[in-house]
Amino acid sequence: MSGPYRTALRAGFGGWVSRRPDGDREFDYVVVGAGAAGCVVANRLSEDAANRVLLLEHGGADLDPRLYIPKGFVFTISNPRYTYRYPTLPVGPEGSVETWIRGRVTGGSTALNGMMYSRGAAADYDALAARGLPGWGWPEMLGAFRAIEDHRLGESALRGSGGPLVVSLPHGVDTISDALVAAGESLGWRHATDTNDGDDERIGRSPATIDRGVRVSAASAFLHPVRNRENLFYRDRTRVGQLVLDGSRVVGVQARTAGDGPRVYCAAREVVVCAGTVQTPLLLERSGIGRPEVLAAAGVDVAVESPNVGERVIEQRAVNMQVRLRIRGGHTERLNSLPKQLWEGLGYLLTRRGPNASGGYDLVCHFRSSPEADRPDVQGIWSPFALDRDHSGLKLAGHSGFHFTGYPLRPSTRGSVHLGGPAPEDPPVVNARYLETEEDRRVTATILERARRVVAASALASLATEEFPGPDVSSPAEVVRHALEAGGGIYHAVGSAAMGPHDTDVVDGSLRVRGTGGLRVVDASVFPEHPSGNTAAPTMALAWRASEVILAER
């Protein structure tokens, strides 16, 4: 397989092995977690050969080819070898326990996510600057996005080229997506070639981190290509259990590699925690940094009181719709049996094209829930596949069709993630608290009606034989109930170690953990508001920018 996979193989079987830090415990920077943020931070901090950088990752190597075939996520996201699976507290009127999935492998969640490349809008970042966080406004973040991108649409004032991260658009003929784009246009939405360009009502093919039919994870973009740096050390299958504090200053981490005993790795300058929105607050709390009552309940002594660790979590809640079509063919019918999968798999191996070569959702739209909204507050994503609704996993239906998922872009409900016990293995307490605010329910209630309007305006309307959930779910209350009962979280949680200008905010505007020294958090957990959509691109750009801040302070 080409590009990203070859680089991973070389890194896995050669590059890192010679520089595992077994006899060596002293570094300038220790980075925890090799996900979207950690790979970027390790790359940038080790650019200067004078910095000795250690990157520790709980998961294993990313050598499984299914981590590189874009549609391989169907297999990997349900594989405990590559994932954390966290049960939530009961959700919705039925009190269902749901599962939050996150990546636990080199590359983190970007090794198995849907690959959609959605940056958020200028207004999201300018709002950060306006709340007293200079340095995170649109001019700085646009600079970071342009620097990381190698965009196949080419360089422009808004796009970068030549950066480490390939971004491309789905290729090939897809009559279902084309029909939906045309319908969106007929309703007044702009047909966007680059859906990251602008903050108006728009629809278009979704940009994705895919390079000629192969997934590009944060590891393949930022980590594997720099495996030969003598000052960058990588240890996978290594879980950081605790931060090591000297008073309130963090001087290292205690970690355990699979099959080995605990070790302490010292950081002369800083520990940078990049463990993601769920694991970052848990690591802080296990180390005594957090809310006293939470720490007491988990049996952990307080080292630094920080009232918002694990609080203010923002996760989007999806409403799903599926339409069955009376046509033979389409993407579902190219993959919904073993012989067809083998045939398409062979085609993919030979050409890197076809349905296996595209990301989770091919089409994305942004629209306003009401004319009063000053910019889109709903994201809709469409996939030209129909799922088997009698199956709890990702199994394709026996018939042709397409799938729609819509969610509020910037929910105002806040949930929490806290320790369930003092040991790293103890399951966390995830309280998603979806759709608790009036505003979130109002926005959610509008979503199905808009999606149905798109379908009705499309050339597919006369071919549609059945819609799930159907006409019984139409009133605002029914749609909200449907979202809570049959929808789901969308893997984009942020905010559990949010940055802010106040003493009670977990990290300051330079992402330093308040009340401590030598400790920063750089990952999705630091966003205090949702960056309007998907979170991989914002997290990688934030990490790029954070590295500049860290290096400038040296």
Give the active site residues. 492
102 binds ligand FAD (CB under 6 A): yes
**Residue 5 binds to ligand FAD (criterion: CB under 6 A):** no
- Tell me the residue number closest to ligand FAD, measured at CB: 35
Tell me which of 33, 164, 184, 411 binds ligand FAD, using CB under 6 A.
Answer: 33
Residues 232, 335, 498, 536: which binds ligand FAD (CB under 6 A)? 536
Tell which one of 31, 148, 283, 497 touches ligand FAD (CB under 6 A): 283
Beta-bridged to residue 408, according to DSSP, are 378
When asked if residue 103 is in the footprint of ligand FAD (CB under 6 A), the reply is yes
Calculate the alpha carbon distances from 118 to 72, 115, 540 in Å: 21, 9, 11
The reply to whether 535 sits near ligand FAD by the rule CB under 6 A is yes
Residue 136 is a binding residue for ligand FAD (CB under 6 A): no
Query: CA–CA separation, 32 vs 58, rounded Å?
Result: 9
Residues 356-375 touching ligand FAD, rule: CB under 6 A, are: 360
| Phi and psi, residue 172, nearest 5° | 90, 170
Q: Is 521 in the site for ligand FAD (CB under 6 A)?
A: no
Q: Are 526 and 497 in contact (CB under 8 A)?
A: yes
- Closest separation in Å from C-beta 94 to ligand FAD: 23
For the bound state, the minimum distance from the C-beta of residue 294 to ligand FAD, rounded and expressed in Å, comes to 18
- Kindly list the distances between the CA atom of residue 74 and the CA atoms of 111, 112, 170, 232, in Å, as whole numbers in the listed order: 12, 9, 18, 33
- The interface region with ligand FAD, picked from 158-166, 222-230, 372-380, 529-537 by CB under 6 A, is 529-537
Judged by CB under 6 A, the residue of 12, 114, 330, 509 near ligand FAD is: 114
- Binding of ligand FAD by 545 (CB under 6 A): no
Distance of CA 551 to the CA centre of its chain: 25
Rounded to an integer, what distance in angstroms lies between the CA atom of residue 274 and that of residue 514? Answer: 16
Helix ranges, 164-256 (H): 175-186, 218
Residue where the block lists tokens 């045939």: 343
Classified as helix, coil or strand, 253 is strand
Instruction: Tell me which residue of 469, 330, 319 sits closest to 396, measured CA to CA.
Output: 330
Paired residues of 429 in beta bridges: 418
Closest CB 239 distance from ligand FAD, rounded Å: 4
Based on the shown chain and the rule CB under 6 A, indicate whether residue 275 belongs to the binding site for ligand FAD.
yes
Nearer to ligand FAD, 275 or 298 (CB): 275
104 is a contact residue toward ligand FAD (CB under 6 A): yes
Closest approach of ligand FAD to the CB of residue 105, in Å: 6
Q: Is 160 helix (H, G, I), strand (E, B) or coil?
A: coil
Supply the minimum distance, in Å, between the C-beta of residue 81 and ligand FAD. Answer: 12
Q: How many residues make contact with ligand FAD (CB under 6 A)?
A: 43
Kindly state whether residue 492 participates in binding ligand FAD, applying the rule CB under 6 A. Answer: yes
φ, ψ of residue 528 in degrees (nearest 5): -80, -20
Query: Which tokens sit at 230?
Result: 């003598």
Q: Which of 4, 16, 57, 215 binds ligand FAD (CB under 6 A)?
A: 57
- Amino acid code (one letter) for 104: R
Q: Which one, 95 or 261, has the nearer CB to ligand FAD? A: 261
Residue of 202, 227, 239, 352 interacting with ligand FAD (CB under 6 A): 239
The tally of CA atoms less than 13 A away on the side-chain side of residue 536 is: 31
If residue 29 lies in a helix (H) or strand (E), which one and from where to where? Answer: strand 26-32
Strand stretches in 385-439, DSSP E: 401-408, 416-418, 429-431
| Minimum gap (Å) between residue 307 Cβ and ligand FAD | 22
Tokens of 27: 């570094």
Give the interface with ligand FAD as residue ranges (CB under 6 A): 32-38, 56-59, 77, 101-104, 108-110, 112-116, 118, 239-240, 274-277, 279, 283, 360, 491-492, 523-524, 534-537, 539
